[in-house]
Amino acid sequence: EPEVTQTPSHQVTQMGQEVILRCVPISNHLYFYWYRQILGQKVEFLVSFYNNEISEKSEIFDDQFSVERPDGSNFTLKIRSTKLEDSAMYFCASGWNSPLHFGNGTRLTVT
């Protein structure tokens, strides 16, 4: 069964640094998402992406965040200047006519 893959599995970065989280969605899917899960809290929606543009974003997804689909296969989440509170598990998901398929997640630790 095809899978959504995310790299790296764990990223440690210093506060203020830029990070790029990478995802390879399932190839025939058209909708792409980023979710995050702060330790001990619920899974939160960040952004959805369709037809090469953001279709919806949450209040969490501020100017520090951006998404790109640079080459038709990767789907990246960039955090421009990380803050301590950005430490979380970030999940990429892709879907087409539901349900969503999730990646293994990238654990981001901001120190």
Partner 1 sequence: AQRVTQPEKLLSVFKGAPVELKCNYSYSGSPELFWYVQYSRQRLQLLLRHISRESIKGFTADLNKGETSFHLKKPFAQEEDSAMYYCALRGRDDKIIFGKGTRLHILP
Report, in Å, the least distance between residue 44 CB and partner 1. Answer: 8
Select from 3, 54, 10, 59 the least CA-distant residue to 31: 54
Distance CA 10, CA 109 (A): 8
Using CA atoms in the order 70, 27, 90, 107, what is the torsion angle rounded to 10 degrees? -90
Least distance from C-beta 17 to partner 1, angstroms?
Answer: 26
Query: Stretches 18-26, 60-68, 70-78, 97-105: which one binds partner 1 (CB under 8 A)?
Result: 97-105
Return d(Cα 8, Cα 90) in angstroms, integer.
11
The site map against partner 1 for 58-87 (x = CB under 8 A) is ------------------------------
Q: Does 18 bind partner 1 (CB under 8 A)?
A: no
Residues in contact with partner 1, counted by CB under 8 A, come to a total of 23
99 touches partner 1 (CB under 8 A) = yes
Q: Which two tokens stand for residue 62?
A: 């501020």
Beta bridge partners of 102: 93
Chain positions contacting partner 1, by CB under 8 A: 31, 33, 35, 41-45, 48, 50, 55-56, 91, 93, 95, 98-105
